[in-house]
Amino acid sequence: MAEQRVVIGVDSSTQSTKALAVDIDTGAVVGRGRAPHTVSAGGGRESDPEQWWAALGTAAARTGRADRAAAVSVAGQQHGLVTLDASGAPVRPALLWNDVRSAPQAAALRSSIGAAEIARRTGSVPTAAFTAAKWAWLRANEPAAADRTAAVRLPHDFLTERLTGRAVTDRGDASGTGWWGPDGYDEDVLDRIGLDRALLPEVLAPGARAGAVRAGTPLREGTPVATGTGDNMAAALGLGLLPGQPVLSLGTSGTVYTVGRTRPADPSGTVAGFADALGGWLPLACTLNCTLAVDRFAALLGRGREAVEGGGTAVVLPYLDGERTPDLPGASGLIHGLRHDTTPGQLLQAAYDGAAHALLAALDEVLRAGGAGGAGGAGGAGGAGDEPLLLIGGGARGRAWQRTVLRLSGRAVRVPDAREAVALGAAAQAAALLTGEPADAVARRWRTADGPVLEPVARDVEALERIGDTLRRAGALQGAPAEER
């Protein structure tokens, strides 16, 4: 009998590292590992990259296949700023994607270049999440740390370099920095934020090999290592996503995206024009407040996360960490429309509605930006689209989340049976090194997107109008750029 060939895909996310050992031929998950991360509380959101490295080793070991994997790939949370000194050690904790202290620097970059121009060049209008704004914040607030920095990396770059010794990245993750576009690194952006091009990694071609595992690391020496990518790009690979198929991911952040036929360049900033991990595009909208914000409301109300009730007039805008879509980095949470007869369960359902609304309102714009056309999302006028909305992430199996998305989207929803789409995408990248297939074709062969389809229901137009009216009139808009007030 032929020996089973297994690859390891790693997802280094905000809260933890997950690793999957996957059979190359069948796609069966034959081992799982997980290790938690710590994120700072208070004014910023930071993590020690050394934690990620230790967690990678722990998670990979827990799969039971770390010493015999045929290849490995690492996907990581987008946008995070990792600064390394000349020895390769972190200068300071990494600034994470959901750290909004860099909002003034993002606004200055938009103003100095112009939203339409920077979107044309890099695909996106930078917000506080983007790495370019974070580096500008570091230069302004911790100049000594910036001066000590000998290398700038994204989270997945840092881990891939630790494994291989090579300073490399991919086009997908690079497209979330704010300083990379189809023509490569944008020297004008780098000059404006005071970042030397020499500090950045080489951007490898899609499907390239990053190198091989070095001695003294958690995996077997000599194991091939794929390029890796950002978490959203890896999830698209892990689902074997085809152009026009919409995805809604419910995690620490919420995202909606699709594989695009055309390159996005949205001057409004609603749609980020990311590259995918192959040769195409990944138009995407992201919210900071998703499952953790709803869970926080459940805890404040003393209820389980599924203990929702219908009815009521309350509206919750759960912007507990500011917000990215809409771009309100200085906003806070808001509750509107409370009455004597409002129940805790209705208030919790309103938190779900508020979190889902922003994503669904952006769905049509995401699909249009990718050349797929609108399909009648929360902000659209049409009915349900032909393609079911793929629901993934930690919240996807929650009945309250499923019912909320069905009720507010008016679309059919598919919940893939396969879990951990990001780690599966990384595993597909690793397998592609060995089989010669495109990574998304590997995932389709593994049938990772198979799962039950929940039939559409009539959209709750009344709830959508109530949320939209609150957004238009809310004091939360004090945090918006002047042109959005």
* CA–CA distance, 99 with 91 (Å, rounded to integer): 18
Helix 399-409 with 344-369: angle, nearest 10 deg: 60
CB-based contacts of 473, cutoff 8 Å, min separation 6? none
Residue 473 in tokens: 């009139």
Longest dimension (CA), the chain: 70
Q: With H, G, I as helix, E, B as strand and everything else as coil, classify residue 99.
A: coil
Instruction: Please answer whether residues 324 and 285 qualify as being in contact, where contact means their C-beta atoms are separated by less than 8 angstroms.
Output: no
Catalytic one of 99, 157, 231, 327:
231
| Amino acid letter, 175 | S
* CA–CA distance, 120 with 130 (Å, rounded to integer): 16
Instruction: Please answer whether residues 314 and 329 qualify as being in contact, where contact means their C-beta atoms are separated by less than 8 angstroms.
Output: no
Across 232-325, where does the E strand assignment appear?
A: 247-250, 254-257, 272-275, 281-287, 315-317
* CA–CA distance, 29 with 19 (Å, rounded to integer): 10
* CA–CA distance, 63 with 352 (Å, rounded to integer): 34
Mode of pairing for the β-strands spanning 247-250 and 272-275: unpaired
Mode of pairing for the β-strands spanning 6-12 and 72-76: parallel
* CA–CA distance, 305 with 302 (Å, rounded to integer): 9
**What end-to-end distance do the CA atoms of the chain give, in Å?**
67
Is 231 among the catalytic positions? Answer: yes
Using CA atoms of 258, 262, 264, 265 in order, give the dihedral in degrees to the nearest 10: -170
23 pairs with which residues across the strands? 6
Q: What amino acid positions are annotated as catalytic residues?
A: 231
